Amino acid sequence: MDNDIQEVLFDQQQIQEAADRLGQTITKDYAGQKPLVLSVLKGAYLWTADVIRKIDLYVDLEFIKISSYHGGVSSSNEIALVTDVQSDVKGRDVLILEDIVDTGQSLQFLEDLLLSRGAHSVRVATLLDKKEGRKVDIKADYVGFDVRNEFVVGYGLDYKGLYRNLPYVGILKQSIYS
């Protein structure tokens, strides 16, 4: 797998530091609250495990599975809700955990869904923020790292379902997908 990577952007240690930094900020910002941490599958599974252990608060953990890329390199405009949450979000302070915000369409879809169900507040903590990729006007509240407009994989992020288990985030060689 390493041979398919053009450049390592963020290694395990850098990602741990980002999780630590965000976890501390989130702990302060949500002091006295019991947020509902909402992990967006599949991409956010590793990042969720890291960040949640750095949040020193009572939290609930929920998962939702949506799909926009359908395994490819570009976001489709069709977001599919694959597996829904299993608890009521009404009145809850929801903290979405994402691996990457790119076009922003997945995040927009989730925010709309949660607010329509009566969530009290919705914020997002993302490992990566690809601001150049935005198609909708939406901002991430907590960002691990900004990334350039390149196709990145690893640490949860996939190409055709693969590379999620790389212990770092790296740029996929163009020869792999073109």
Active site residues per annotation: 102
Residue 106 CB coordination number (10 Å): 23
Q: Which is nearer to ligand PRP, 48 or 103 (CB)?
A: 103
- Assess contact for 96 and 121: CB atoms under 8 A: no
Under the binding rule (CB under 5 A), the answer on residue 156 touching Mn ion is: no
Residues 144-173 binding Mg ion (CB under 5 A) are 158
Q: Which is nearer to Mn ion, 30 or 106 (CB)?
A: 106
Q: Provide, rounded to whole angstroms, the least separation between the CB of residue 138 and ligand PRP.
A: 8
Residue 34: is the preceding peptide bond cis (ω within 30°)?
no
Q: Which is nearer to Mg ion, 34 or 70 (CB)?
A: 70
Given Mn ion, ligand PRP, Mg ion, none, residue 105, with its beta carbon under 5 to 8 Å by kind, binds: ligand PRP
- Assess contact for 130 and 102: CB atoms under 8 A: yes
CA torsion angle for 66, 128, 35, 20 (degrees, to 10)? 140
Contact footprint for ligand PRP (CB under 6 A): 40-43, 67-69, 75, 98-107, 158
Q: What are phi and psi of 154, to 5 degrees?
A: 100, 160
Chain positions contacting Mn ion, by CB under 5 A: 43
